[in-house]
Chains A and B, each alone.
Chain A
Protein backbone atom coordinates (compact mmCIF):
# COMPACT_ATOMS: atom_id res chain seq x y z
CA UNK A 1 0.00 0.00 0.00
CA UNK A 2 2.74 2.35 1.01
CA UNK A 3 4.58 1.53 -2.17
CA UNK A 4 1.53 2.32 -4.24
CA UNK A 5 1.15 5.60 -2.39
CA UNK A 6 4.74 6.51 -3.05
CA UNK A 7 4.50 5.44 -6.65
CA UNK A 8 1.45 7.56 -7.36
CA UNK A 9 2.38 10.32 -9.74
CA UNK A 10 1.01 13.36 -7.97
CA UNK A 11 2.46 15.70 -10.57
CA UNK A 12 0.49 13.97 -13.26
CA UNK A 13 -2.63 14.11 -11.11
CA UNK A 14 -2.14 17.80 -10.54
CA UNK A 15 -1.63 18.34 -14.26
CA UNK A 16 -4.84 16.52 -15.14
CA UNK A 17 -6.66 18.57 -12.52
CA UNK A 18 -5.43 21.80 -14.12
CA UNK A 19 -6.51 20.56 -17.55
CA UNK A 20 -9.88 19.50 -16.16
CA UNK A 21 -10.50 22.86 -14.55
CA UNK A 22 -9.73 24.66 -17.81
CA UNK A 23 -12.05 22.45 -19.85
CA UNK A 24 -14.61 22.65 -17.07
CA UNK A 25 -14.58 26.44 -17.14
CA UNK A 26 -15.30 26.36 -20.88
CA UNK A 27 -18.12 23.85 -20.46
CA UNK A 28 -19.53 25.97 -17.64
CA UNK A 29 -19.72 29.02 -19.91
CA UNK A 30 -21.86 27.10 -22.38
CA UNK A 31 -23.87 25.47 -19.59
CA UNK A 32 -24.90 28.90 -18.30
CA UNK A 33 -26.84 29.52 -21.51
CA UNK A 34 -28.76 26.26 -21.12
CA UNK A 35 -29.52 26.76 -17.49
CA UNK A 36 -30.56 30.43 -17.65
CA UNK A 37 -32.92 29.88 -20.55
CA UNK A 38 -34.38 26.78 -18.94
CA UNK A 39 -34.82 28.65 -15.67
CA UNK A 40 -36.93 31.33 -17.32
CA UNK A 41 -38.91 29.65 -20.11
CA UNK A 42 -38.46 25.94 -19.23
CA UNK A 43 -37.04 25.34 -22.68
CA UNK A 44 -34.03 23.17 -23.33
CA UNK A 45 -32.49 25.26 -26.07
CA UNK A 46 -30.86 22.51 -28.10
CA UNK A 47 -29.54 25.08 -30.54
CA UNK A 48 -27.28 26.55 -27.87
CA UNK A 49 -24.33 24.26 -28.57
CA UNK A 50 -24.55 25.09 -32.26
CA UNK A 51 -24.65 28.78 -31.46
CA UNK A 52 -21.32 28.19 -29.72
CA UNK A 53 -20.06 26.44 -32.86
CA UNK A 54 -21.07 29.37 -35.10
CA UNK A 55 -19.23 31.67 -32.71
CA UNK A 56 -16.08 29.60 -33.29
CA UNK A 57 -16.49 29.88 -37.06
CA UNK A 58 -16.97 33.61 -36.88
CA UNK A 59 -13.80 33.84 -34.79
CA UNK A 60 -11.97 31.89 -37.49
CA UNK A 61 -13.30 34.16 -40.23
CA UNK A 62 -12.36 37.21 -38.21
CA UNK A 63 -8.73 36.19 -37.64
CA UNK A 64 -8.54 35.23 -41.33
CA UNK A 65 -9.48 38.79 -42.25
CA UNK A 66 -6.35 39.90 -40.41
CA UNK A 67 -4.30 37.35 -42.31
CA UNK A 68 -3.46 35.40 -39.19
CA UNK A 69 -4.63 32.21 -40.81
CA UNK A 70 -1.92 32.02 -43.45
CA UNK A 71 0.82 29.44 -43.11
CA UNK A 72 4.04 30.69 -41.58
CA UNK A 73 2.82 34.21 -40.98
CA UNK A 74 2.58 33.86 -37.22
CA UNK A 75 6.25 32.97 -36.67
CA UNK A 76 7.44 36.46 -37.51
CA UNK A 77 4.52 38.48 -36.23
CA UNK A 78 5.01 40.58 -33.07
CA UNK A 79 2.68 39.77 -30.19
CA UNK A 80 0.86 43.10 -30.30
CA UNK A 81 -0.30 42.49 -33.86
CA UNK A 82 -1.87 39.26 -32.66
CA UNK A 83 -3.35 40.73 -29.51
CA UNK A 84 -5.52 43.24 -31.40
CA UNK A 85 -7.51 40.68 -33.41
CA UNK A 86 -7.81 38.46 -30.32
CA UNK A 87 -9.33 41.30 -28.30
CA UNK A 88 -11.58 42.10 -31.24
CA UNK A 89 -12.78 38.49 -31.17
CA UNK A 90 -13.57 38.84 -27.46
CA UNK A 91 -15.72 41.85 -28.35
CA UNK A 92 -17.37 40.78 -31.60
CA UNK A 93 -18.13 37.09 -31.02
CA UNK A 94 -20.07 37.53 -27.74
CA UNK A 95 -22.10 40.32 -29.37
CA UNK A 96 -22.76 38.12 -32.40
CA UNK A 97 -23.84 35.13 -30.32
CA UNK A 98 -25.97 37.31 -28.03
CA UNK A 99 -27.71 38.92 -31.00
CA UNK A 100 -28.24 35.64 -32.80
CA UNK A 101 -29.61 34.00 -29.67
CA UNK A 102 -32.05 36.87 -29.16
CA UNK A 103 -33.10 36.72 -32.81
CA UNK A 104 -33.81 32.99 -32.53
CA UNK A 105 -35.95 33.62 -29.48
CA UNK A 106 -37.93 36.39 -31.14
CA UNK A 107 -38.42 34.58 -34.44
CA UNK A 108 -38.78 30.95 -33.36
CA UNK A 109 -39.57 30.57 -29.65
CA UNK A 110 -41.60 33.67 -28.86
CA UNK A 111 -44.54 32.80 -31.14
CA UNK A 112 -44.69 29.44 -29.33
CA UNK A 113 -44.61 30.87 -25.80
CA UNK A 114 -48.09 29.66 -24.94
CA UNK A 115 -47.93 26.46 -26.98
CA UNK A 116 -47.36 23.06 -25.32
CA UNK A 117 -43.74 22.68 -24.15
CA UNK A 118 -42.99 20.10 -26.82
CA UNK A 119 -43.47 22.62 -29.66
CA UNK A 120 -40.58 24.97 -28.76
CA UNK A 121 -38.45 21.95 -27.84
CA UNK A 122 -38.82 20.41 -31.29
CA UNK A 123 -38.28 23.84 -32.83
CA UNK A 124 -35.03 24.12 -30.86
CA UNK A 125 -33.87 20.86 -32.41
CA UNK A 126 -34.79 22.32 -35.79
CA UNK A 127 -32.77 25.47 -35.13
CA UNK A 128 -29.88 23.24 -34.06
CA UNK A 129 -29.93 21.50 -37.44
CA UNK A 130 -30.18 24.79 -39.30
CA UNK A 131 -27.17 26.14 -37.42
CA UNK A 132 -25.24 22.94 -38.00
CA UNK A 133 -25.86 23.20 -41.73
CA UNK A 134 -24.83 26.84 -41.75
CA UNK A 135 -21.64 25.69 -40.03
CA UNK A 136 -21.18 22.95 -42.62
CA UNK A 137 -21.59 25.48 -45.40
CA UNK A 138 -19.30 27.96 -43.67
CA UNK A 139 -16.43 25.74 -42.64
CA UNK A 140 -16.84 22.56 -44.64
CA UNK A 141 -17.24 18.98 -43.47
CA UNK A 142 -13.67 18.57 -42.22
CA UNK A 143 -12.41 19.95 -38.95
CA UNK A 144 -10.49 23.13 -39.61
CA UNK A 145 -7.32 24.27 -37.92
CA UNK A 146 -7.63 27.44 -35.88
CA UNK A 147 -4.28 29.30 -35.78
CA UNK A 148 -2.53 28.95 -32.45
CA UNK A 149 -2.45 32.67 -31.75
CA UNK A 150 -1.75 32.36 -28.05
CA UNK A 151 1.32 30.19 -28.62
CA UNK A 152 2.50 32.57 -31.32
CA UNK A 153 2.12 35.65 -29.16
CA UNK A 154 3.43 34.09 -25.95
CA UNK A 155 5.77 31.27 -26.97
CA UNK A 156 7.85 29.15 -24.64
CA UNK A 157 11.42 30.21 -24.15
CA UNK A 158 14.20 27.66 -24.31
CA UNK A 159 16.16 26.70 -21.21
CA UNK A 160 18.71 29.48 -21.64
CA UNK A 161 15.86 31.97 -21.96
CA UNK A 162 17.22 33.31 -25.22
CA UNK A 163 15.60 31.49 -28.10
CA UNK A 164 11.87 31.03 -28.34
CA UNK A 165 10.30 27.73 -29.24
CA UNK A 166 7.72 28.50 -31.86
CA UNK A 167 4.40 26.73 -31.66
CA UNK A 168 4.64 25.94 -27.95
CA UNK A 169 2.62 28.08 -25.60
CA UNK A 170 4.44 29.56 -22.63
CA UNK A 171 4.23 27.67 -19.38
CA UNK A 172 3.76 30.10 -16.52
CA UNK A 173 5.03 27.50 -14.05
CA UNK A 174 8.21 26.75 -16.02
CA UNK A 175 10.45 28.37 -13.43
CA UNK A 176 8.83 26.65 -10.48
CA UNK A 177 9.90 23.18 -9.39
CA UNK A 178 6.37 21.80 -9.39
CA UNK A 179 6.81 20.19 -12.80
CA UNK A 180 3.31 21.36 -13.72
CA UNK A 181 2.20 23.15 -16.86
CA UNK A 182 -0.10 26.10 -16.37
CA UNK A 183 0.05 27.83 -19.69
CA UNK A 184 -0.93 31.27 -20.90
CA UNK A 185 -4.00 29.56 -22.42
CA UNK A 186 -5.07 28.15 -19.05
CA UNK A 187 -4.53 31.56 -17.50
CA UNK A 188 -6.62 33.17 -20.23
CA UNK A 189 -9.51 30.75 -19.74
CA UNK A 190 -9.52 31.12 -15.97
CA UNK A 191 -8.84 34.85 -16.17
CA UNK A 192 -11.83 35.47 -18.44
CA UNK A 193 -14.26 32.90 -17.05
CA UNK A 194 -13.98 33.71 -13.34
CA UNK A 195 -14.64 37.47 -13.68
CA UNK A 196 -17.48 36.76 -16.13
CA UNK A 197 -19.16 34.43 -13.68
CA UNK A 198 -18.64 36.81 -10.78
CA UNK A 199 -20.15 39.60 -12.86
CA UNK A 200 -23.12 37.43 -13.80
CA UNK A 201 -23.64 36.39 -10.20
CA UNK A 202 -23.57 40.01 -8.98
CA UNK A 203 -25.89 41.02 -11.79
CA UNK A 204 -28.47 38.35 -10.99
CA UNK A 205 -28.25 38.88 -7.23
CA UNK A 206 -28.27 42.62 -6.92
CA UNK A 207 -29.53 44.48 -9.97
CA UNK A 208 -33.18 45.23 -10.54
CA UNK A 209 -33.09 43.37 -13.85
CA UNK A 210 -31.34 40.41 -12.21
CA UNK A 211 -33.97 40.18 -9.51
CA UNK A 212 -36.68 40.47 -12.15
CA UNK A 213 -35.05 37.53 -13.94
CA UNK A 214 -35.19 35.40 -10.81
CA UNK A 215 -38.75 36.48 -10.09
CA UNK A 216 -39.83 35.63 -13.65
CA UNK A 217 -38.15 32.24 -13.39
CA UNK A 218 -40.05 31.47 -10.22
CA UNK A 219 -43.45 32.69 -11.32
CA UNK A 220 -43.95 34.44 -14.65
CA UNK A 221 -47.58 35.37 -14.02
CA UNK A 222 -46.81 36.96 -10.66
CA UNK A 223 -43.86 38.74 -12.29
CA UNK A 224 -46.24 40.29 -14.83
CA UNK A 225 -48.49 41.42 -12.02
CA UNK A 226 -45.50 43.26 -10.51
CA UNK A 227 -45.15 45.26 -13.72
CA UNK A 228 -42.24 43.20 -15.03
CA UNK A 229 -42.20 42.95 -18.81
CA UNK A 230 -41.65 39.22 -19.05
CA UNK A 231 -40.79 39.28 -22.75
CA UNK A 232 -38.07 41.80 -22.08
CA UNK A 233 -36.66 39.67 -19.25
CA UNK A 234 -36.64 36.63 -21.52
CA UNK A 235 -34.81 38.68 -24.15
CA UNK A 236 -32.15 39.72 -21.65
CA UNK A 237 -31.73 36.10 -20.66
CA UNK A 238 -31.14 34.98 -24.24
CA UNK A 239 -28.71 37.87 -24.73
CA UNK A 240 -26.64 36.98 -21.67
CA UNK A 241 -26.72 33.25 -22.39
CA UNK A 242 -25.62 33.91 -25.97
CA UNK A 243 -22.82 36.23 -24.89
CA UNK A 244 -21.49 33.60 -22.47
CA UNK A 245 -21.46 31.04 -25.28
CA UNK A 246 -19.63 33.60 -27.42
CA UNK A 247 -16.87 34.04 -24.84
CA UNK A 248 -16.70 30.26 -24.68
CA UNK A 249 -16.34 30.08 -28.48
CA UNK A 250 -13.39 32.45 -28.60
CA UNK A 251 -11.55 30.69 -25.80
CA UNK A 252 -12.31 27.23 -27.13
CA UNK A 253 -10.95 28.14 -30.55
CA UNK A 254 -7.86 29.80 -29.08
CA UNK A 255 -7.19 26.97 -26.67
CA UNK A 256 -7.99 23.80 -28.59
CA UNK A 257 -7.21 25.17 -32.07
CA UNK A 258 -9.69 23.00 -33.96
CA UNK A 259 -13.13 23.99 -35.11
CA UNK A 260 -15.71 21.92 -36.97
CA UNK A 261 -19.40 21.98 -37.65
CA UNK A 262 -20.11 19.10 -35.27
CA UNK A 263 -18.34 20.60 -32.27
CA UNK A 264 -21.55 22.26 -31.15
CA UNK A 265 -23.31 18.96 -30.71
CA UNK A 266 -20.73 17.30 -28.51
CA UNK A 267 -19.81 20.32 -26.42
CA UNK A 268 -23.45 21.28 -26.18
CA UNK A 269 -24.25 17.83 -24.86
CA UNK A 270 -21.52 18.07 -22.23
CA UNK A 271 -22.68 21.56 -21.26
CA UNK A 272 -26.30 20.46 -21.05
CA UNK A 273 -25.21 17.55 -18.87
CA UNK A 274 -23.30 20.00 -16.68
CA UNK A 275 -26.42 22.13 -16.33
CA UNK A 276 -28.55 19.13 -15.33
CA UNK A 277 -25.90 17.78 -13.01
CA UNK A 278 -25.57 21.10 -11.21
CA UNK A 279 -29.34 21.55 -11.01
CA UNK A 280 -30.92 23.03 -14.10
CA UNK A 281 -32.06 26.60 -13.65
CA UNK A 282 -29.33 27.36 -11.10
CA UNK A 283 -26.38 29.38 -12.43
CA UNK A 284 -23.98 28.28 -9.67
CA UNK A 285 -25.04 24.73 -10.43
CA UNK A 286 -24.05 25.16 -14.07
CA UNK A 287 -20.58 26.33 -13.04
CA UNK A 288 -20.15 23.51 -10.55
CA UNK A 289 -21.49 20.98 -13.06
CA UNK A 290 -19.09 22.26 -15.73
CA UNK A 291 -16.12 21.87 -13.42
CA UNK A 292 -17.19 18.39 -12.31
CA UNK A 293 -17.53 17.29 -15.94
CA UNK A 294 -14.22 18.87 -16.89
CA UNK A 295 -12.48 17.02 -14.07
CA UNK A 296 -14.22 13.72 -14.86
CA UNK A 297 -13.23 14.03 -18.51
CA UNK A 298 -9.66 14.91 -17.78
CA UNK A 299 -8.98 12.51 -14.89
CA UNK A 300 -11.12 9.81 -16.52
CA UNK A 301 -9.23 9.82 -19.77
CA UNK A 302 -5.94 9.63 -17.86
CA UNK A 303 -6.77 6.94 -15.32
CA UNK A 304 -9.61 4.99 -16.94
CA UNK A 305 -9.02 5.44 -20.63
CA UNK A 306 -9.75 7.92 -23.36
CA UNK A 307 -12.45 5.76 -24.91
CA UNK A 308 -14.42 5.68 -21.67
CA UNK A 309 -14.60 9.42 -21.16
CA UNK A 310 -18.13 10.00 -22.42
CA UNK A 311 -19.49 6.91 -20.69
CA UNK A 312 -17.85 8.05 -17.47
CA UNK A 313 -19.34 11.54 -17.68
CA UNK A 314 -22.83 10.16 -18.06
CA UNK A 315 -22.25 7.53 -15.38
CA UNK A 316 -21.39 10.34 -12.97
CA UNK A 317 -24.52 12.18 -14.08
CA UNK A 318 -26.68 9.14 -13.40
CA UNK A 319 -25.14 8.50 -9.98
CA UNK A 320 -25.63 12.11 -8.93
CA UNK A 321 -29.21 12.21 -10.18
CA UNK A 322 -30.02 9.01 -8.29
CA UNK A 323 -29.00 10.63 -5.02
CA UNK A 324 -29.97 14.21 -5.82
CA UNK A 325 -32.70 14.14 -8.47
CA UNK A 326 -32.77 17.92 -8.81
CA UNK A 327 -29.01 18.13 -9.31
CA UNK A 328 -26.17 19.15 -7.00
CA UNK A 329 -27.50 22.64 -6.29
CA UNK A 330 -31.03 22.19 -7.60
CA UNK A 331 -33.37 24.20 -5.45
CA UNK A 332 -36.28 22.48 -3.86
CA UNK A 333 -37.61 25.18 -1.59
CA UNK A 334 -41.12 24.02 -0.86
CA UNK A 335 -43.93 26.17 -2.16
CA UNK A 336 -46.77 26.26 0.31
CA UNK A 337 -50.15 26.30 -1.35
Chain B
Protein backbone atom coordinates (compact mmCIF):
# COMPACT_ATOMS: atom_id res chain seq x y z
CA UNK B 1 0.00 0.00 0.00
CA UNK B 2 1.47 3.35 -0.93
CA UNK B 3 1.37 6.56 1.03
CA UNK B 4 -1.58 7.99 -0.91
CA UNK B 5 -3.74 4.94 -0.17
CA UNK B 6 -2.83 5.19 3.47
CA UNK B 7 -3.78 8.84 3.57
CA UNK B 8 -7.11 8.14 1.88
CA UNK B 9 -7.82 5.41 4.41
CA UNK B 10 -6.89 7.68 7.28
CA UNK B 11 -9.12 10.37 5.87
CA UNK B 12 -12.11 8.04 5.63
CA UNK B 13 -11.50 6.83 9.13
CA UNK B 14 -11.48 10.36 10.48
CA UNK B 15 -14.58 11.37 8.52
CA UNK B 16 -16.52 8.55 10.09
CA UNK B 17 -15.23 9.68 13.43
CA UNK B 18 -16.61 13.20 13.14
CA UNK B 19 -19.88 12.11 11.62
CA UNK B 20 -21.31 10.61 14.71
CA UNK B 21 -19.00 7.69 15.27
CA UNK B 22 -19.13 6.69 18.87
CA UNK B 23 -16.11 5.85 20.88
CA UNK B 24 -16.53 3.56 23.80
CA UNK B 25 -14.07 2.39 26.35
CA UNK B 26 -12.62 2.31 29.81
CA UNK B 27 -11.77 5.59 31.44
CA UNK B 28 -8.28 6.43 32.59
CA UNK B 29 -8.61 9.29 35.03
CA UNK B 30 -5.97 11.95 35.59
CA UNK B 31 -5.86 15.19 37.60
CA UNK B 32 -5.15 18.85 36.81
CA UNK B 33 -2.07 20.24 35.01
CA UNK B 34 -0.89 16.93 33.55
CA UNK B 35 2.26 18.12 31.79
CA UNK B 36 4.00 16.72 28.75
CA UNK B 37 6.92 15.47 30.88
CA UNK B 38 4.41 13.24 32.69
CA UNK B 39 2.83 12.10 29.44
CA UNK B 40 6.17 11.19 27.89
CA UNK B 41 9.33 11.91 29.94
CA UNK B 42 12.06 13.71 27.96
CA UNK B 43 14.52 10.86 28.40
CA UNK B 44 12.42 8.86 25.93
CA UNK B 45 12.45 11.57 23.25
CA UNK B 46 15.53 10.21 21.51
CA UNK B 47 13.13 8.31 19.26
CA UNK B 48 10.12 9.57 17.32
CA UNK B 49 8.23 6.40 16.29
CA UNK B 50 4.74 6.46 17.75
CA UNK B 51 4.76 2.76 18.65
CA UNK B 52 7.97 3.15 20.69
CA UNK B 53 6.67 6.30 22.40
CA UNK B 54 3.39 4.55 23.28
CA UNK B 55 5.29 1.97 25.36
CA UNK B 56 6.58 4.81 27.56
CA UNK B 57 3.35 6.79 27.82
CA UNK B 58 2.83 7.93 31.45
CA UNK B 59 5.88 5.79 32.39
CA UNK B 60 6.54 7.58 35.67
CA UNK B 61 3.05 8.68 36.64
CA UNK B 62 1.17 5.49 35.83
CA UNK B 63 3.50 2.64 34.93
CA UNK B 64 0.59 0.22 34.33
CA UNK B 65 -1.01 2.45 31.66
CA UNK B 66 0.96 1.37 28.59
CA UNK B 67 0.56 -2.32 29.44
CA UNK B 68 -3.13 -2.24 30.28
CA UNK B 69 -4.68 0.34 27.96
CA UNK B 70 -6.97 -1.03 25.24
CA UNK B 71 -7.86 0.39 21.85
CA UNK B 72 -10.73 2.83 22.18
CA UNK B 73 -10.13 3.72 25.82
CA UNK B 74 -10.74 7.28 26.95
CA UNK B 75 -8.63 9.65 29.04
CA UNK B 76 -10.50 11.94 31.40
CA UNK B 77 -8.52 14.73 33.04
CA UNK B 78 -8.90 18.01 34.88
CA UNK B 79 -7.71 21.46 33.86
CA UNK B 80 -4.80 22.41 31.58
CA UNK B 81 -4.12 18.91 30.25
CA UNK B 82 -0.90 18.75 28.20
CA UNK B 83 0.80 21.84 29.60
CA UNK B 84 4.55 22.30 29.22
CA UNK B 85 6.60 21.50 26.19
CA UNK B 86 5.59 21.51 22.52
CA UNK B 87 6.58 17.87 22.03
CA UNK B 88 4.14 16.26 19.61
CA UNK B 89 5.47 13.01 21.01
CA UNK B 90 2.92 13.51 23.83
CA UNK B 91 -0.35 13.32 21.84
CA UNK B 92 1.34 10.82 19.51
CA UNK B 93 2.21 8.48 22.41
CA UNK B 94 -1.36 8.72 23.71
CA UNK B 95 -2.92 8.12 20.29
CA UNK B 96 -0.63 5.22 19.48
CA UNK B 97 -1.35 3.67 22.89
CA UNK B 98 -4.93 3.31 21.66
CA UNK B 99 -6.73 6.23 23.31
CA UNK B 100 -9.65 7.37 21.14
CA UNK B 101 -10.52 10.73 22.70
CA UNK B 102 -9.49 12.89 25.65
CA UNK B 103 -12.10 14.63 27.79
CA UNK B 104 -10.78 17.39 30.05
CA UNK B 105 -11.93 20.55 31.80
CA UNK B 106 -9.40 22.45 29.65
CA UNK B 107 -6.34 21.84 27.48
CA UNK B 108 -3.00 23.60 27.13
CA UNK B 109 -2.70 25.51 23.86
CA UNK B 110 0.09 23.71 22.03
CA UNK B 111 -1.17 20.27 23.03
CA UNK B 112 -4.59 21.23 21.68
CA UNK B 113 -3.18 22.15 18.25
CA UNK B 114 -0.93 19.11 18.13
CA UNK B 115 -3.68 16.64 19.00
CA UNK B 116 -6.06 17.88 16.29
CA UNK B 117 -3.21 18.15 13.80
CA UNK B 118 -2.48 14.44 14.19
CA UNK B 119 -6.14 13.44 14.40
CA UNK B 120 -6.57 12.83 18.13
CA UNK B 121 -9.85 14.49 19.12
CA UNK B 122 -10.20 16.43 22.36
CA UNK B 123 -13.39 17.63 23.98
CA UNK B 124 -13.96 19.92 26.93
CA UNK B 125 -16.49 19.17 29.64
CA UNK B 126 -16.01 20.40 33.18
CA UNK B 127 -18.77 18.17 34.62
CA UNK B 128 -17.66 15.00 32.86
CA UNK B 129 -14.07 15.70 33.88
CA UNK B 130 -15.21 15.90 37.48
CA UNK B 131 -17.73 13.08 37.68
CA UNK B 132 -16.34 10.30 35.50
CA UNK B 133 -14.17 7.94 37.54
CA UNK B 134 -11.19 5.79 36.76
CA UNK B 135 -12.37 2.39 35.52
CA UNK B 136 -15.81 3.69 34.46
CA UNK B 137 -16.96 2.81 30.98
CA UNK B 138 -18.26 5.63 28.80
CA UNK B 139 -19.13 6.44 25.22
CA UNK B 140 -18.52 9.66 23.34
CA UNK B 141 -20.29 10.95 20.25
CA UNK B 142 -17.98 13.50 18.70
CA UNK B 143 -20.48 15.15 16.42
CA UNK B 144 -23.03 15.92 19.10
CA UNK B 145 -20.51 16.25 21.91
CA UNK B 146 -22.58 13.81 24.00
CA UNK B 147 -20.74 11.75 26.61
CA UNK B 148 -22.63 8.88 28.25
CA UNK B 149 -21.54 7.08 31.40
CA UNK B 150 -22.30 3.40 30.86
CA UNK B 151 -23.09 2.31 34.40
CA UNK B 152 -26.10 4.64 34.86
CA UNK B 153 -26.58 6.25 31.46
CA UNK B 154 -25.81 9.72 32.79
CA UNK B 155 -25.34 12.20 29.94
CA UNK B 156 -22.83 15.04 29.77
CA UNK B 157 -22.82 17.64 27.02
CA UNK B 158 -19.35 18.68 25.98
CA UNK B 159 -18.53 21.92 24.21
CA UNK B 160 -18.82 21.38 20.48
CA UNK B 161 -15.54 21.10 18.60
CA UNK B 162 -14.84 24.50 16.96
CA UNK B 163 -15.83 24.39 13.23
CA UNK B 164 -12.27 24.87 12.04
CA UNK B 165 -10.99 21.97 14.14
CA UNK B 166 -13.83 19.78 12.83
CA UNK B 167 -12.81 20.79 9.32
CA UNK B 168 -9.23 19.74 10.10
CA UNK B 169 -10.38 16.34 11.30
CA UNK B 170 -12.74 15.99 8.32
CA UNK B 171 -9.82 16.69 6.03
CA UNK B 172 -7.88 13.95 7.80
CA UNK B 173 -5.50 16.12 9.81
CA UNK B 174 -3.37 19.13 9.00
CA UNK B 175 -1.17 17.37 6.45
CA UNK B 176 -4.14 16.38 4.30
CA UNK B 177 -5.81 19.74 4.86
CA UNK B 178 -2.66 21.44 3.57
CA UNK B 179 -2.33 19.09 0.62
CA UNK B 180 -5.89 19.70 -0.47
CA UNK B 181 -6.17 23.43 0.21
CA UNK B 182 -2.79 25.01 -0.14
CA UNK B 183 -0.80 23.19 -2.68
CA UNK B 184 -3.47 22.90 -5.36
CA UNK B 185 -4.07 26.64 -5.55
Q: Do A and B bind each other?
A: no
